[in-house]
């Protein structure tokens, strides 16, 4: 585990939540050959790297303390992150996930568990969004755990699907039967108060299981939903994009051209 403290400045805009944990350890194999030499988070999207766009949006919403989990191409990631920290005047630490080649992202979250002692927002490393989405999510996430969702008419196999009871999440996973699905989780989660500590404890528990390295972190959120209220915030009226495939990258570039 490596930590890289850099320059900081208070840019908070009224929110008590000032920390973001970004999952950036993956290569993005479905984007090959574009990611043959760089991780997905360093792909150029309209003149800026994907992770730079994330940090810009989060910092503009008042986030001032960043933790980025690295793995594939970690040295290039650290160089890019150091440059972003200098330019944005925010604090960024990196946590290296040595399991990135053999594990899914539950392990990345587990590696960052020491950073989960207070309120934080967790972001998948392949999401593109603007600060308005973050502002809306933080404003409407007073509960212990809040999942950003999007509702649409049809869901596919790659969607992180959710089931709801009103505005409370009951189930989350990619393999949920589509006829039972109420929304998709877009990859942004807010943890406050006991939600942060219980999430960390759940990560510890799941990583002790033989299947721990092969699990996605939403399985921890689903387990939490059996213990505490996990609420949702519909952000589908905001522009956002998840970059998994080359077509997604083109869509993201087209979307950003209109910003």
**pLDDT one-digit tens code per residue, 85-131:** 999 999 999 999 999 988 889 999 999 999 999 999 999 999 999 99
CATH of the domain at 28: 3.90.550.10
Is 238 inside any structural domain?
yes
Judge contact between 97 and 208, C-beta under 8 A: no
7 vs 251, which has greater pLDDT? 251
Unique residue bearing structure tokens 């950073």: 115
148 in a domain, yes or no? yes
Position 2 pLDDT exceeds 50: no
Rg (CA), the chain: 17
Residue 169 lies in a domain: yes
- What does the mean pLDDT of the chain come to? 91
Q: Is residue 13 part of a domain?
A: no
pLDDT given for residue 104 in this prediction: 87
Q: pTM for the whole thing?
A: 0.92
Residue 15's pLDDT is what? 52
The domain total for the chain is 1
Q: Residue 16: which pLDDT band, with cuts at 50, 70 and 90?
A: low
**Parallel/antiparallel/unpaired status of strands 145-150 and 183-191:** antiparallel
**Partner residues linked to 234 by β-bridges:** 149
Encoded tokens for 124: 């998948």
Owning domain of residue 222: 19-257
Question: Measured between alpha carbons, how far is 16 from 12 in angstroms, rounded to an integer?
Answer: 8
């Amino acid at each position: 585990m490596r930590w890289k403290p850099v320059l900081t400045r208070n840019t908070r805009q009224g929110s008590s939540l000032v920390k973001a944990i970004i999952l950036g350890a993956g290569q993005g194999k479905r984007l090959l050959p574009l990611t043959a030499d760089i991780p997905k988070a360093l792909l150029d999207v309209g003149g800026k790297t994907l992770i730079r766009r994330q940090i810009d949006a989060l910092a503009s919403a008042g986030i001032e303390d960043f933790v980025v989990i690295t793995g594939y191409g970690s040295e290039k990631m650290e160089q890019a992150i150091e440059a972003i920290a200098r330019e944005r005047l925010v604090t960024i630490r990196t946590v290296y996930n040595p399991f990135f080649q053999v594990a899914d992202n539950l392990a990345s979250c587990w590696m960052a568990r020491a950073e989960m002692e207070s309120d934080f927002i967790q972001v998948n490393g392949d999401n593109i969004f603007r600060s308005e989405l973050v502002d809306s999510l933080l404003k409407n996430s007073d509960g212990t755990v809040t999942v950003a969702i999007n509702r649409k008419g049809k869901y596919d196999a790659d969607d992180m699907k959710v089931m709801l009871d009103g505005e409370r999440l009951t189930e989350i996973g990619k393999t949920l039967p589509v006829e039972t699905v109420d929304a998709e989780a877009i990859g942004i989660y807010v943890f406050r108060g006991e939600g942060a500590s219980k999430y960390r404890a759940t990560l510890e528990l799941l990583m002790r299981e033989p299947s721990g390295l092969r699990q996605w972190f939403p399985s921890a959120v689903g387990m939490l939903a059996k213990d505490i209220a996990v609420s949702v915030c519909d952000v589908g009226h905001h522009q956002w994009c998840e970059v998994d495939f080359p077509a997604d990258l083109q869509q993201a570039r087209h979307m950003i051209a209109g910003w």
